[in-house]
Structure 1
Amino acid sequence: MLIISNAVHIPDDEIELNAIRAQGAGGQNVNKVSSAVHLRFDINASSLPPFHKERLLGLRDSRITSDGVIVLKAQQYRTQEQNRADALERLRELILAAVKVEKARRPTRPTLGSKTRRLESKSKRGAIKAGRGKIDY
């Protein structure tokens, strides 16, 4: 069981994990051992709350197919157990990031102090540049 939060859990039977051979360099170990993990999670068929499903399906992420299936491939570690844990943690982080609600930003005006500081620095800079002109005798 994958625990997302105190109220949201994903049963193991909803997450499909397959062991595959990893890509890239690694020699005999990579060629013979299926240490990489391919994770598939169907959002629509899951027991996630409707809000979570809606936010996940609304993401513009290359890891989510058009059918609403999250596909993750974990091959960073040498052992299958570590890659399985990595894939599950990445799925958890993806779901948590999708349901995080950002606080709306209220535009504010600059303070009087910041305005005066800005104008003072502009006048100082202007005085420096004015002093670079030709000197008349």
Structure 2
Amino acid sequence: MLADRRLASCEPAHTTCHHARAMDDALHPTPNVAIPLTEVALRTTRSSGPGGQHANVTDSRVEASFDVAASGALSDAQKARVVARVGPVVRAVAQDARSQLRNRELALERLEGKLRQALHVDRPRRATKPSRGAKQRRLDAKKQLGQRKAGRQRPRFDD
């Protein structure tokens, strides 16, 4: 529980925190969508790998998870799109840094990136026809290739 409280704020003796998220405390996967950090569950565990005495007692690995169905920030269409592409719960893990706060930022950035990709709507493709000039260039190129291949054959003498 203490680890969760430490994650929430970072104001020990300094007036400003370099690790703190933007002032609005929200993820912005797209310009129109703002997901409050209250909807993102953060869990800390011990990082894997070597590290000695300090790594064995420090919960520096951060897992950020976002429950799509329980979110009030997304419309029904957006929820359906995210669930279809990523699943009902979107997770991002970070254990790159030694600092829990840095890993928290990395996990939130990765979660934001996954949501950005899941919410992205591809533009519909418009069917187009090749122009008359493009058709002519294609046929000219085919004729040129045929002539080049014909030039490689042995000459035929039909006298």
**1:52 Cα deviation (Å)?**
2.5
CA separation in 2, counterparts of 1:76 and 1:54? 32
Q: Which residue of 2 aligns with 1:89?
A: 109
Which structure 2 residues correspond to residues 28-67 of structure 1 after superposition, within 5 A? Answer: 28=52, 30-50=55-75, 51-59=77-85, 61=86, 64=87
Please say if residues 2 and 88 of structure 1, whose CA atoms lie closer than 8 Å, have aligned partners that are also in contact.
Answer: no
Among 20, 31, 35, which residue is 2:45 paired with?
Answer: 20
**1:85 Cα deviation (Å)?**
0.7
Q: Residues 127 and 6 from structure 1, CA distance in 2 versus in 1: closer, same or farther, beyond 3 angstroms?
A: closer
The runs of 5 or more residues in structure 1 that have no matched partner are: none
Aligned-residue sequence identity (percent) comes to 35
CA separation in 1, counterparts of 2:149 and 2:56? 68
Give the CA RMSD over aligned residues.
2.2
TM-score, normalised with respect to structure 1: 0.79
**1:10 Cα deviation (Å)?**
2.5
TM-score, normalised with respect to structure 2: 0.69
**1:77 Cα deviation (Å)?**
2.4
Letter in 2 for 1:34: D
Q: Residues 73-104 of structure 1: CA distance to partner in whole angstroms, max 9, x if unpaired? A: 11222321121111111222222222222111
CA separation in 1, counterparts of 2:111 and 2:34? 12
CA separation in 1, counterparts of 2:121 and 2:35? 21
Is residue 3 of structure 1 aligned with residue 12 of structure 2?
A: no
Letter in 1 for 2:48: Q
Please say if residues 92 and 108 of structure 2, whose CA atoms lie closer than 8 Å, have aligned partners that are also in contact.
Answer: no
Moved over 6 A (4+): none
CA separation in 1, counterparts of 2:71 and 2:136? 57
3-state SS of 1:135 partner: coil
3-state SS of 2:140 partner: helix
